Amino acid sequence: MTKTDFEIVFEAVEKNQRATGREISNWLKKNGQPRFDSKLTNQILYRLLSSEIVDRDGTGDKPRWSVGQTWGSSNASEPKGSVVLRPLSPRETEVREYKIASTLVKVILENDLSSNDPYMSPDWVGTHVVAAINTNHPFWTLRLGAASEKSLFSMIAALDAYVQWRVAQLSELPDATEILKMRDQALRFCTLMELEVPTVG
């Protein structure tokens, strides 16, 4: 099974605890992942941080990364004691949480992507599923105005990420009917974890 970008970078963080983004990028390139330049690696690290899968150490000039403690990861290392974590500012990211069946899906609103980037990027580590929405995509900027429209679109992105995650777990690709059934089940069992007002994390 092919690993997702989240899984690849998370594994690199696990093997290089408290490394900088550049060090993680270099390690990935040396280990057969040449496309993970510093920009892509840092982008994924910050998505992992927004999803509480990794932690960022606030000491020193450059952030250092380690396995997160707050999203129930069974792979999490022991508590780090006196390490100071830099919180995300509200301008950096907005996160919404949905529960689909028994799976928690986090939706991150990404403000720093290009209008040419995809409308949504799904990713996951184990059962931690994340959908990063590109808020500079033309559909978001031109078609979605009201908060209720954006909220509905966020839920649909969560459903898409969930279905893609489910498909990735299968040993062989399902046909279109099976994917439709998965989407239907996701729509029937999707709940926004907070109020309809997005949480800022």
Per residue in 161-172, pLDDT (tens digit) is 999 999 988 888
Do residues 78 and 92 both lie within one domain?
no
pLDDT band at 74 (very low <50, low <70, confident <90, very high): very low
Q: Across all residues in the chain, what is the average pLDDT?
A: 80
CATH number at residue 6: 1.10.10.10
Same domain, 129 and 177: yes
Number of domains in the chain: 2
CA–centroid distance for 79 within its chain: 22
Domain holding 23, by residue range, is: 1-87
Kindly tell me the burial class for residue 186, based on how many C-beta atoms sit within 10 Å of its own C-beta (0-12, 13-18, 19 or more).
buried
Pair type for strands 128-134 and 120-125: antiparallel
Same domain, 153 and 171: yes
Q: How confident is the model at residue 92 (pLDDT cuts 50, 70, 90)?
A: very low
Domain boundary among the residues 87, 103, 129 is at 87
Asked if 92 and 82 sit in the same domain, the reply is no
Lowest-confidence segment of 43-52, 54-63, 128-137 by average pLDDT: 54-63
Percent of the chain with pLDDT over 90: 32
Note whether 124 and 70 are same-domain residues: no
Task: Spell out the residues 6+ positions from residue 161 whose beta carbon is closer than 8 angstroms to its own.
Answer: 105, 107, 120, 122, 123, 124, 129, 130, 131
Asked which of 92-96, 105-109, 157-161 is least confident by mean pLDDT, the reply is 92-96
Is it the case that residue 77 has pLDDT exceeding 80? no
Instruction: Please check whether residues 92 and 71 belong to one and the same domain.
Output: no
- High-pLDDT (> 70) share of the chain, %: 81
pTM more than 0.75: no
Provide the pLDDT for residue 194. Answer: 55
Higher per-residue confidence, 60 vs 173: 173
Amino acid 196: pLDDT: 43
Q: How far apart are CA 172 and CA 147, in angstroms?
A: 39
The length of the chain is 201
Which three-class secondary structure state does DSSP give residue 144? Answer: coil
Contact in structure between 97 and 192 (CB atoms under 8 Å): yes
Same-domain pairing of 167 and 100: yes
pLDDT confidence band for 24 (50 / 70 / 90): very high
Structure token digits, residue 84 = 């100071």
For residues 24 and 77, membership in a common domain is answered with yes
DSSP at 22: H
If asked whether residues 148 and 174 sit together in one domain, one would say yes
Which whole number is the average pLDDT over 18-44? 90
Cα–Cα distances in Å, from 166 out to 25, 28, 58, 106? 28, 27, 35, 15
78 and 135 part of one domain:
no
| Mean pLDDT for the stretch of residues 30-58 | 86
Of the residues 53, 71, 87, the one at which a domain ends: 87
Domain identity same for 70 and 139:
no
